[in-house]
Amino acid sequence: MSQISIFPDRCKFAAIALQNVRADLSPSVTLHDGIMAVTKIPLSLENHWRKWLGAMQSHNLENCNLFLVGIAAADWADGESPIFGGNLDSALMNDVGGTFAFLRMVGAIEYADAFMLAGHVEDGQPEIRHFAQTLHFNITRGSLPWIVREADLQTAVTLSRSYNALLKRFPGQKWRFARGCHALKTALEQNYASDRLHGFVRALEALILPDKGGTENNSYRAVPCLLPQKKQRRRFGRYFRKSTGCVAMLSTSTTGTVP
């Protein structure tokens, strides 16, 4: 498969690779300083990488059609090999991983698999130092899959950067909005809709901030703005009433803070 060359020399990179995602994008899109999206693999898989990854994973990676790539300049002494696993590597992986997570929150994206890879570029040659398959973000039955466009990616980057800025502004503090985002992300990774419901309720709580013991009434009143059809509200209500016993007990100990 053809590739797109985007890496300068002596840099570090991290990328989320999505396979068979519905997308309508230009071959290369700059989203923010240091992060971009490309529709073809941005590096060549030499024989030793194919052997390391295996034939199937190499094929899957090469056939991904969306790469969210974070790039940062780095430097190291001549004759030395760059060390992987430092703060810069973690920051790059968190950046592209956060963009991917918020892209899923923006819309119901549908894809086959997603992979995280990271490494460095030396003498013009990208070297992979990390490769892993990510947890899959599912879509709820009945949701229409989105076609990912540039505006969606720009929104995801903005949300991710804003969220990280809030975390840095309040270091060490456990706050409810962060817990709500985490609950929503975790819920979207669950395979069964019934397992996602608890996370959706927790995410709603993070927005409406019900009083202790008021989870059921307050969260249920928030449903009409999300589910405009009466049939949808009735169906949600049946499942909601069955699940809020556990959620309500949890909320009594987590109102205002994160456990």
The model's pLDDT over 22-32, given as tens digits with 9 standing for 90+, comes to: 999 999 999 98
Based on the domain organization, do 138 and 41 belong to the same domain? yes
Based on the domain organization, do 194 and 138 belong to the same domain? no
Based on the domain organization, do 148 and 29 belong to the same domain? yes
Per 3-state DSSP, the chain is made up of helix, strand and coil in percentages (nearest 5) of: 45, 20, 35
Based on the domain organization, do 16 and 139 belong to the same domain? yes
Q: What is the pLDDT of residue 202?
A: 82
The residues, ordered by sequence, that sit 6+ positions from 136 with a Cβ below 8 Å of its Cβ are 113, 114, 189
On whether residue 161 sits in a domain, the answer given is no
User: pLDDT band for position 228 (50/70/90)?
Assistant: very low
Q: What is the pLDDT of residue 20?
A: 93
Based on the domain organization, do 145 and 177 belong to the same domain? no
Place of tokens 């094929």: 59
The model's pLDDT over 34-83, given as tens digits with 9 standing for 90+, comes to: 899 999 988 887 777 788 888 888 888 889 999 999 998 877 666 556 77
Q: State which of 127, 156, 185 marks the end of a domain.
A: 156
On whether residue 93 sits in a domain, the answer given is yes
Q: State which of 156, 189, 209 marks the end of a domain.
A: 156
Based on the domain organization, do 131 and 199 belong to the same domain? no
Domain count, the chain: 2
Based on the domain organization, do 182 and 67 belong to the same domain? no
On whether residue 167 sits in a domain, the answer given is no
Query: 129-152: b or e for each residue (b if 16 or more CB lie within 10 Å)?
Result: bebeebeebbbeeeeeebebeeeb
Based on the domain organization, do 17 and 145 belong to the same domain? yes
The model's pLDDT over 81-137, given as tens digits with 9 standing for 90+, comes to: 677 878 888 999 999 999 999 999 888 888 999 999 998 888 778 888 899 999 899
The model's pLDDT over 166-175, given as tens digits with 9 standing for 90+, comes to: 888 876 556 7
- Structural domain that includes position 212: 172-254
On whether residue 68 sits in a domain, the answer given is yes
Q: State which of 130, 156, 182 marks the end of a domain.
A: 156
On whether residue 180 sits in a domain, the answer given is yes
**Contacts made by residues 210-214, CB under 8 angstroms, sequence distance 24+:** 210/251, 210/255, 211/255, 212/251, 212/252, 212/255, 213/248, 213/251, 213/252
Based on the domain organization, do 74 and 195 belong to the same domain? no
The model's pLDDT over 102-112, given as tens digits with 9 standing for 90+, comes to: 999 888 888 99
On whether residue 259 sits in a domain, the answer given is no
Based on the domain organization, do 67 and 34 belong to the same domain? yes
SS3 at position 150:
helix
Give whole-number Cα distances, 118 to 86, 96, 111, 132, 175, in Å: 12, 10, 21, 9, 31
Cα end-to-end distance, the chain, whole Å? 47
Based on the domain organization, do 134 and 214 belong to the same domain? no
On whether residue 162 sits in a domain, the answer given is no
Based on the domain organization, do 183 and 225 belong to the same domain? yes
On whether residue 6 sits in a domain, the answer given is no
